[in-house]
Amino acid sequence: MSLGTVFLSEVVGTAMLLLLGGGVVANNILPKNKGAGTGFLHVNWGWGLAVFAGVLVSYKSGGHLNPAVTLGLVAAGNNEFVPGIAVNAMSIATYISAQMVGAFIGAVLCWLAYKKQFDDDAPAGAKLGVFSTGPEIRNPLWNLVTEAIGTFVLVLVVLASGNWGDSATKTPAGLGWLGALGVALLVVGIGASLGGPTGYAINPARDLGPRIAHAVLPIPNKGSSDWGYSWVPVVGPIIGGVLAGLMSGVLLPA
C-alpha cells in the first residue's frame, strides 16, 4: 500500500459520493426532472446510497471520504489508517487533499449529468443547493452546533461499529459491503433526524469541494456561492469528528 494508492482511492470514492449525492439533490430540486419535488426523505436515501457506493469503491484506503472521519481516527489514537499507512502529517494531508479533489470532480460530473437543467431557468438558490448546503434559519453559531452534533453521531457510531478500528492493533480494517451498508443507513438516519436545520453536510469535503465547483463552472444565472456561510460546514464537522474520536476512548471498549 502506498500513499499514491490511498490518494487515488479517496479521490474515486469521494467523487462517487458527490456524483450520486449531488445527483439526488439535483433530481429533487431542479425543474424538469423525473424526481422533482420528491422530498427530503428521498434526498436522505440518495445520500445514504451514495455513501454506500463511495465506500465500496474506496476499499483500499478504508473509505474515509470525509476529513471529519480522518481526523476522528487521528483523535481516537489509531496508529495506522490502513495496514501500511501510518498516521502522520503526510498521510493526513494525503487523505484530506484527495477528498477535496474527489468532491470537486464528483460535483463537476453531477453538473455534466444535469447540464440542461442547470442551463434552464432554475432559481439560483436551487442551483447552489445541488452543490452545497445552507441553513433554513441562518444563525452561524447554532448552524455550527447542528453540524457538529450530526458529525459527532456519524464518527462515534462508525468507531463503535468497529469497521474502522481494531482495538488490539489500533489499525483500521477495510470496509466490506456489509460495513458500507451500515454506514449508508447511518447517514440516512442522521439526515432524517438531524438534517433539517442545515442540510447536514457532516463532511467538510462534501460542502467545500462542490462549492468551489459552483464558483468556477459556467452555470447561467447561478448567483452567489455563499462564501459567508462556507466555513460552518467545514468547521462544524471537524469539531464533531474530533470530539467523537476523543470520546471514543472513554465510551467504547479499549
Domains along the sequence of the chain with CATH: 3-246 (1.20.1080.10)
**pTM to 2 decimal places:** 0.93
* Cβ neighbours for 208, distance < 8 A, ≥ 6 positions apart: 100, 103, 132, 230, 233, 234
Cβ 204 vs Cβ 67: under 8 Å = yes
User: What pLDDT shows up at residue 162?
Assistant: 67
Which value, in Å, is the radius of gyration of the alpha carbons in the chain? 17
- State the Cα–Cα distance between residues 62 and 9, nearest whole angstrom: 9
Q: Which of 188, 152, 176 is nearest to 66 (CA)?
A: 152
- State the Cα–Cα distance between residues 245 and 141, nearest whole angstrom: 22
Residue 97, amino acid: S
- State the Cα–Cα distance between residues 233 and 175, nearest whole angstrom: 26
CB atoms within 10 A of CB 192: 16
Pairing of the two strands 80-82 and 85-86: antiparallel
User: What pLDDT shows up at residue 175?
Assistant: 58
Helix (H) or strand (E) holding 30: none
∠ CA 61-65-67, rounded to 5°: 105
Q: Which of 7, 174, 180 is nearest to 100 (CA)?
A: 7
Strands (E), 58-154: 80-82, 85-86
pLDDT in tens, the chain (254 residues): 899 999 999 999 999 999 999 999 999 999 999 988 899 999 999 999 999 999 999 999 999 999 999 999 999 999 999 999 999 999 999 999 999 999 999 999 999 999 999 998 889 999 999 999 999 999 999 999 999 999 999 999 998 886 444 444 444 445 567 788 999 999 999 999 999 999 999 999 999 999 999 999 999 999 999 999 999 999 999 999 999 999 987 777 65
Q: Which of 74, 196, 84 is nearest to 135 (CA)?
A: 196
Q: Which of 147, 142, 176, 146 is nearest to 162 (CA)?
A: 176
User: What pLDDT shows up at residue 164?
Assistant: 47
With cell 420528491, the residue in question is: 38
Residue 94, amino acid: T
Q: Which of 179, 164, 165 is nearest to 254 (CA)?
A: 165
Q: Under DSSP, is residue 132 helix (H, G, I), strand (E, B) or coil?
A: coil
User: What pLDDT shows up at residue 254?
Assistant: 58
